[in-house]
Structure 1
Amino acid sequence: MTVPLLAITAWSGTGKTTLLQQVIPELNALGVRCGLIKHTHHEMEVDTPGKDSYLLRKAGADQVIVASDRRWALMCETPQQPLSLAELAARMDSSVLDLVLVEGFKGEPVPKIVLWRRGVKGGVEDLLDEHVIAVASDEPLQTGLPALDMRQPAQVAAFIARWRAAYR
């Protein structure tokens, strides 16, 4: 079975990362093993300049695995074109995950929880599409979708766990 994707989408500065930092431990406590894919618009460097792995990747290695007895990381160059969300998710080890949370990727056709906070960029209606399964906010909203309190990570995690259980 494919591991379901669930995106947490919002305008920049709304608190996606902060909420995920609180929700992931709650999901773990509920027995839900999570992976995460985070979208960034910035040039990113996950390796440390000057380290051997960085130098070898910069020398032209298209893929580099850095491994220790506690973790490993695969870094891949994608000079031709960026990978799609589906291609990224396919690279995760679905044998050890129950769910892949996705931060960002507003335009992707995957189930989403929209975060919205008054005073951040645009309106909530600009974030809603047919893939949104709930809206988490710091104030009551009338969207016709399940409403979550983004200040209550346990509530958000419980909703996600129920959604995940029904997904099967």
Structure 2
Amino acid sequence: MARDILIARQVRPLVGWTQSEGLRRLAFALRPLIDKGLDVHDIAAELHSWYLDWRPARPAAYITSHLRQRAERDAEYDARLPHVVHPQDNPAWRAWCQHQQAVKAMNDLITHARRTDEDRRQARLAARYNPHLLLDHVAEHGEDDALDLFGADLTARIVSLSHGTHIQLGTT
């Protein structure tokens, strides 16, 4: 309760129409907003968003009533929703998530300090199907590291195609 009163004490000067209300009643009325995790400025912004151009005689009662009505409207709206779809029910979303996981795994593999021949084989295979992995790696880690991971042939082919020219990489 002390924390709520402290928050109410900070909100009251920020919102003109609440200044006539006592701190305890205001703190009690603001409790739903405080319980949502809103801070002082968020609560003040919420109260300002109600666009009151008049001063309620009992601001705490008005806040309580307004929040209760909004909760009832939200509950009615939620009850009217025919079916809430979970994002993983969408096959396209699931495929995108799996692709992102594969890209993350590949990036983790690429940035691994000690590479094995299996790491290089998997990186080359992935770059054949997604050349942007190699191009992104070149941009982030440089051509020398790309040559080590992806090999000279694949790196030269993909980088030259991206530049529209045929260049030879790794030869000095």
What TM-score range do you get, normalising by the shorter chain?
under 0.3
Instruction: Say which structure, 1 or 2, has more relative contact order (CA 8 Å, 6+ apart).
Output: 1
Normalised to the residue count of structure 1, the TM-score between the two structures is 0.24
The structure that has the greater radius of gyration is 2
Higher helix fraction (1 or 2): 2
